[in-house]
């Protein structure tokens, strides 16, 4: 038997109506979602269930919404015994609740602070992001190096061997997009985001988050989390906290994370939360991996 990993999605996986069926079918879900509303002092439930989409897409609401959906699902699952967790950017916070590092009450407040801080940083230091498909990781790194004369730009998310997201100033990213197109990229698409996430333009958000991280109690993890910043398993609470701080401006090493998990004996990957983005990426990175999605009430039937 291979090892089991739980994966938790990040920003971009949200949709209007998310977790509504869970709320209507499970008392545990109802309690957690109502508790989140009380803790945050905002009607997150209404935004998740009814939208409008433009409001749900605002970073300060998107991040706690996706986190909450994921953690609600995790709280309902009894029949999966994971050997490790991992999350894509924001999803790392869900992964840290699942492995016992953070309490739900602390984590959802941290996620809201993180979302607010990142949204504010995006307003103060405008930037953008773009997806590049069809170039290798090495070629994307060459592209951003060539574009740095124009402005701030770096690789932000290494999502698969041929899909990389870049981030930085508008002029820097758009210069890199031009170079990527001329270098043979199949798709080069600017993303509808509110800031240059995982780039130096998020430095102010990073410092705000550090203050909040230092106010929260972390525990050593019961099972490892494969961290975005290093793509390696970690259980030490102090190291985990430091990596969450670094994560705001550092690239998400998703390809290396999945490759390292495969090397460490993981064969089964369960994406817990809205959408199917991560299992799609896992299949691109390692086609032989067994991938499953748990998003809606109907998906839970075999796992409760």
The pLDDT tens digits for 173-210 are 999 999 999 999 999 999 988 899 999 999 999 999 99
Share of the chain above pLDDT 70, in %: 100
Distance CA 228, CA 260 (A): 12
Q: Burial code of 131-151, b = ≥16 C-beta within 10 A, e = fewer?
A: bbbbbebebbbebbebbeebb
CATH 3.40.366.10 assigned to domain 3-123+200-300? The reply is: yes
Report how far residue 2's alpha carbon sits from residue 83's, in angstroms, rounded to the nearest whole number: 10
User: Of the listed 167, 194, 198, 199, which one is catalytic?
Assistant: 198
Q: How far is CA 231 from the centre of its chain?
A: 14
Please enumerate in sequence order all residues whose Cβ is within 8 A of that of 291, keeping only pairs 6 or more positions apart, or say none.
269, 270, 271, 279, 282, 283
What is the SS3 assignment for 252? Answer: strand
Per-residue confidence (pLDDT) for residue 100, from 0 to 100: 97
**301 or 236: which leads in pLDDT:** 236
pLDDT for residue 122: 94
| Cβ(166)–Cβ(155) below 8 Å | yes
pLDDT band at 224 (very low <50, low <70, confident <90, very high): very high
Strands (E), 176-295: 187-191, 225-226, 233-234, 266-272, 290-294
Average pLDDT of the chain is 96
Neighbouring-strand partners of residue 280: none
Helix (H) or strand (E) holding 28: helix 27-40
What tokens does 40 get?
């945050």
Q: What's the rounded Cα separation, in Å, for the pair 68 and 39? A: 12
**Alpha-carbon distance values, 136 to 129, 245, 301 (Å):** 18, 28, 39
C-alpha–C-alpha distance, residues 86 and 88, integer Å: 7
Q: How far apart are CA 210 and CA 51, in angstroms?
A: 30
- Do 222 and 240 form a contact (C-beta atoms < 8 A)? no
Residues of the chain above pLDDT 90, percent: 96
What residues does CATH 3.40.366.10 cover in the chain?
A: 3-123+200-300
Q: How far is C-alpha 287 from the chain's CA centre?
A: 22
- The dihedrals phi and psi of 278, each to the nearest 5 degrees, come to -70, -40
Stretch(es) of the chain classified as CATH 3.30.70.250: 127-191
Please state whether 134 falls in left (phi above 0), alpha (psi between -120 and 50) or beta.
Answer: left
Q: What is the pLDDT of residues 260-269, one digit of tens each?
A: 999 999 999 9
Domain spanning 127-191, CATH class:
alpha beta
User: In which element (H, E) is residue 91 found?
Assistant: helix 91-98
Cβ pair 282, 289 in contact under 8 A: yes
Task: Please report which confidence band the pLDDT of residue 171 belongs to, taking 50, 70 and 90 as the band edges.
Answer: very high
- How sure is the predictor about 111, in pLDDT bands with cuts at 50, 70 and 90? very high
Q: Are 245 and 209 in contact (CB under 8 A)?
A: yes
Closest CA to 63 of 98, 87, 27, 29: 87
- On whether the CB atoms of residues 251 and 167 are closer than 8 A, the answer is no
What pLDDT sits at residue 70? Answer: 98
Tell me the pTM.
0.96
pLDDT for 194 equals 85
Query: Pick the catalytic residue: 13, 70, 88, 89?
Result: 89
89 labelled catalytic: yes
Tokens of 35: 């508790």
Looking up tokens 């605002």 gives: 58
Could you give the angle at the alpha carbon of 139 between the alpha carbons of 138 and 140, nearest 5°? Answer: 90
On whether the CB atoms of residues 135 and 161 are closer than 8 A, the answer is no
**Is 88 a known active-site residue?**
no
What local confidence, expressed as pLDDT, does residue 33 receive?
Answer: 98
């Amino acid at each position: 038997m291979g090892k089991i990993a739980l994966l938790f999605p990040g920003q971009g996986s949200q949709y209007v109506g998310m977790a509504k069926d869970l709320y209507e079918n499970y008392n545990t879900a109802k309690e957690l979602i109502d508790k989140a509303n009380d803790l945050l002092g905002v009607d997150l439930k209404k935004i998740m269930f009814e939208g409008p989409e433009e409001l749900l897409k605002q970073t300060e609401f998107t991040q706690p919404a996706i986190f909450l959906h994921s953690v609600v699902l995790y709280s309902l699952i009894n029949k999966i015994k994971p050997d490790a967790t991992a999350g894509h950017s924001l999803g790392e916070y869900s992964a840290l609740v699942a492995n016992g590092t953070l309490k739900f009450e602390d984590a959802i407040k941290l996620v809201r602070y993180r979302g607010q801080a990142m949204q504010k940083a995006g307003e103060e230091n405008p930037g953008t992001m773009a997806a590049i498909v069809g170039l290798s990781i090495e070629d994307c790194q060459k592209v951003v190096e060539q574009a740095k004369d124009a402005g701030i730009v770096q690789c932000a998310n290494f999502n698969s061997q041929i899909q990389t997201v870049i981030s930085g100033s508008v002029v820097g990213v758009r210069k890199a997009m031009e170079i990527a197109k001329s270098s043979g990229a199949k798709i080069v698409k600017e993303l509808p985001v509110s800031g240059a996430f995982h780039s130096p333009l998020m430095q102010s958000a990073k410092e705000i988050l550090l203050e909040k991280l230092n106010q929260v109690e972390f525990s050593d993890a019961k099972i490892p989390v494969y961290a975005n910043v290093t793509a390696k398993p970690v259980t030490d609470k102090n190291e985990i906290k430091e990596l969450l701080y670094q994560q705001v401006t550092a690239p998400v090493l998703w390809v290396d994370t999945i490759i390292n998990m495969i090397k460490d004996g993981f064969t089964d990957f369960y994406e817990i939360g809205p959408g199917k983005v991560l299992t799609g990426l896992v299949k691109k990175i390692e086609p032989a991996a067994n991938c499953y999605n748990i998003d809606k009430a109907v998906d839970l039937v075999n796992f409760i």
